[in-house]
Amino acid sequence: MSLLFSPLTIRSVTLPNRIVVSPMCQYSAEDGLPDNWHLVHLGSRAVGGAGLVFAEATAVEPAGRISPQDTGIWSAAHVEAWRPITAFIKAQGAVPGVQLGHAGRKASVYRPWDDGDGAVAEGGWQTVGPTDQPFSASYPVPQALAPADVEALVETFAQAARNAVAAGFEVVEVHAAHGYLLHQFLSPLSNTRTDEYGGDQAGRLRFPLAVVRAVRAAVGPDLPVFVRVSATDWTEGGLTVDDTVEIARALAHAGADVIDVSTGGNVATARVPVGPGYQVPFADAVRRKAEVATAAVGMITEPHQAERILADEAADLVLLARELLRDPYWPRRAAAALGAEDTPPAQYARAF
């Protein structure tokens, strides 16, 4: 029996298999509202056979968007816009998930294919961060968050989580990776505060932990909460995998069910040794040492590669990103390669 195609129950939610569509920014929303692009993009991956389909990093407030074209979930209008998308995903037998994010000092920038680099020239906004240190010279200079602002953002995340449940999402992931706001607080390279939200690791962890506790309370006891982390900053003096093991233990104690292990994103000049499965050892280390379920992501492209990650007990779930952009039906191809049972939609059965 293929491990990749075995179900996994987390709290009250059962994933039909271990294949997860990783959150992938589409930079195609207006005023944070998802539209037909998002319905077709996410719906295609559900039709393609993934067990859990994550929507992209979705901003908890307007200032939390990476670009002006990011999706959001801060209002009733956003809830209504997401509902037909989550309903379609569920109708295909997949589980809809959302990643709640705040870009912090990496906000208010051009989307990748627009002309321009860094801070948007028109339509931008004041960014925030743990300090007033920008991500790079071309990025906006953030405003350092006061303690009261940090506390208010905890409730902002909680309200976004309540909105996510109302919109039909059944898994909520807190984005604390890739150099965005919560990662900015976690890393000693970007958080040089001396108040209760800085200093040692316990201080730097205070804000992310408060967010996870608030999100857990907001979604209730039945739905899974994931947290994406960057296990290393790939830079001397930054976060290491040993730090991340301690962070993961604390996050699990705060209510996280799965630690989604990625790396990098907080240092513009970091040199990342990208290659097939290059982040899997970090998921493995966190799983074994922190004794928490993990998800592996990063250059996972082949069915037997994904199966081996699970067989080696390096992770409990496998997330694919660019490979699922290239082939939305990768899970069905993987089922054939691994000899697993597959039940495509009736409309597509003749092809399989």
Share of the chain above pLDDT 90, in %: 97
Residue 6 binned pLDDT confidence (cut-offs 50, 70, 90):
very high
| 253 pLDDT above the threshold of 90 | yes
For 235, the domain range is 8-120+143-351
Q: Is residue 293 part of a domain?
A: yes
Q: Is residue 342 part of a domain?
A: yes
pLDDT at 153: 98
Q: Is residue 129 part of a domain?
A: no
Number of other CB atoms surrounding residue 198 within 10 Å: 17
Task: Find, among 35, 38, 36, the residue nearest to 25 by Cα.
Answer: 38
Catalytic residue IDs: 180
Q: What is the torsion angle, in degrees rounded to the nearest 10, for the CA atoms of residue 345, residue 348, residue 349 and residue 351?
A: -150
Q: Is residue 212 part of a domain?
A: yes
The token pair at 164 is 């996510």
CATH code of the domain in which 306 resides:
3.20.20.70
Question: What is the tally of structural domains in the chain?
Answer: 1
Q: Is residue 174 part of a domain?
A: yes
Q: What is the torsion angle, in degrees rounded to the nearest 10, for the CA atoms of residue 53, residue 154, residue 198 and residue 104?
A: 60
Q: Is residue 131 part of a domain?
A: no
pLDDT at 116: 86
As a whole number, mean pLDDT of residues 82-89 equals: 98
pLDDT at 117: 87
Q: Is residue 138 part of a domain?
A: no
Q: Is residue 2 part of a domain?
A: no
